[in-house]
Amino acid sequence: MKKNFLCALLLLIVAIPNYGVTFSDALDRLLRASRVEERRTAFLEVLENPDKYADQIVKGIADWQTTEKYSVEALDKLIYLAALLKRDESYAPIKALSLDSEYTEHECIYDCPINFALAVFDISKLSKPLLWTDTDLREYYERSLKRTRSGILFARTEDQELLNKTETLNEDDLILQAGPFNGDYKERWLAVEVLSHTVSDDRCLIELYWLAIEEIHDASCQYRCAIYAAIKRAEMAKALRSNWENAR
C-alpha cells in the first residue's frame, strides 16, 4: 500500500508542469492556472502589489536563456507584465531575448512580444516635457489617436454584419467581447480589431493588457496584432496626458 502511494505521488509530481523558475503564488497561478477565473484573480493580485512581483518578472525573463526553459506562452505573459509595469530593469533582458532564436523563431514570425514591449517603453518616454518642444511633433501624435474605422471587408454577409454590429459597441463592451470568457474566436478578434482603431485614452489600459495576456494564438497572429495596436494607442494617450501635466 505504501509503495503504491509513493508511486502515485511520484506520477503526480512528474505531471505538474515545470517552468524552471519558482514564482510567488499569484504570479505562478497567472502563468499556470487552467481556469480563466483563477488567472484573472491572480492578475489583479499582481497589480495590487507590483513591487512584490517586479523582481520575479524580470528574473523570469532573464532566466529564459540560462535555466531550464518553461513555455513560451508563460514568457509572453511575463513580457506583457513587464511592459505594463515599465520597470527600467526589465528593458535589457527583454531586448536580449531578440538574440534567442529558439524564442524568436517561435513567437516573432508575425508581431513579436519583444518589439511590442520595447515600443511601449519608448512610448512611455514621450511623457517628458523636453520631447515636446516641436509642436508639429505633438500634433502628429495627437492625430494618431483619432478614431478610424477598420478597413476589413468580408465577402460573407453575416461576417460583415457582425463587424458592423461590433463597431457600434462602446469600449467596455468591446473589451468584454474580446475577452477570454467569450468562446467565439471571430467575435473576440473583431472586438480587438475595432479597439485597435478606436482607443483614444488610457482609461482601460489595464484591461487591454489583460486581453494581451489572454491572447488567442491564431495562425497569423491577427488577434495579437490588433491588441498590440490598441495598447499602443492607450499608452500614447497616457504619455500625452502625462506630458501636459508635467509641462504645467
Residues 61 and 31: beta-carbon distance below 8 Å: no
Q: Are residues 230 and 133 in the same domain?
A: yes
Q: Is residue 114 domain-resident?
A: no
Share of the chain above pLDDT 70, in %: 74
Q: Are residues 178 and 132 in the same domain?
A: yes
Among residues 109, 143, 165, the one where a domain terminates is: 109
Q: Are residues 99 and 148 in the same domain?
A: no
pLDDT tens, position by position, 21-43: 556 689 999 999 999 999 999 99
Q: Are residues 172 and 243 in the same domain?
A: yes
Report the pLDDT value the prediction gives residue 96, as an integer from 0 to 100.
93
Higher pLDDT, 171 or 151: 171
Q: Is residue 123 domain-resident?
A: no
Cα–Cα distance between 199 and 201 in angstroms, integer?
Answer: 6
Q: Is residue 122 domain-resident?
A: no
Neighbours of 12 (CB within 10 A): 9
Q: Are residues 43 and 102 in the same domain?
A: yes
Report the pLDDT value the prediction gives residue 68, as an integer from 0 to 100.
57
Q: Is residue 28 domain-resident?
A: yes
Q: Are residues 44 and 134 in the same domain?
A: no
In the structure grid, which three cell numbers stand for residue 64, read together? 529564459
Which residues, including other chains, have CB under 8 Å from residue 63's CB and lie 6 or more apart?
A: 20, 21
Q: Is residue 133 over pLDDT 60?
A: no
Cα–Cα distance between 198 and 215 in angstroms, integer?
Answer: 19
Q: Are residues 93 and 66 in the same domain?
A: yes
Q: What's the distance, Cα to Cα, between the start and end of the chain in Å?
A: 75
pLDDT tens, position by position, 212-244: 999 999 888 999 999 999 999 999 888 887 776
Q: Is residue 117 domain-resident?
A: no
Share of the chain above pLDDT 90, in %: 57
Among residues 109, 138, 164, the one where a domain terminates is: 109
Q: Are residues 62 and 172 in the same domain?
A: no
Q: Are residues 74 and 136 in the same domain?
A: no
Q: Are residues 234 and 197 in the same domain?
A: yes
Q: Are residues 159 and 225 in the same domain?
A: yes
Q: Which of 164, 127, 24, 132 is nearest to 81 (CA)?
A: 24
Q: How many independent structural domains does the chain possess?
A: 2
Cα–Cα distance between 221 and 108 in angstroms, integer?
Answer: 10
Q: Are residues 21 and 51 in the same domain?
A: yes
Q: Is residue 213 domain-resident?
A: yes
Report the pLDDT value the prediction gives residue 44, as an integer from 0 to 100.
97
Residues in the chain: 248
Report the pLDDT value the prediction gives residue 7, as an integer from 0 to 100.
42
Report the pLDDT value the prediction gives residue 69, as an integer from 0 to 100.
61
Higher pLDDT, 159 or 6: 159
Among residues 79, 109, 139, the one where a domain terminates is: 109
Report the pLDDT value the prediction gives residue 112, as an integer from 0 to 100.
95
Neighbours of 42 (CB within 10 A): 19
Burial of 45: CB neighbours in 10 Å, binned 0-12, 13-18, 19+: middle
Q: Is residue 118 domain-resident?
A: no
Q: Is 0.95 surpassed by the pTM of this model?
A: no
Q: Is residue 119 domain-resident?
A: no
Report the pLDDT value the prediction gives residue 149, as an integer from 0 to 100.
64
What's the domain range around 71?
Answer: 2-109
Assign 15 a pLDDT band (cuts: 50, 70, 90). very low
What are phi and psi for residue 86, nearest 5 degrees?
Answer: 55, 45
Cα–Cα distance between 53 and 83 in angstroms, integer?
Answer: 13
Cα–Cα distance between 107 and 120 in angstroms, integer?
Answer: 18
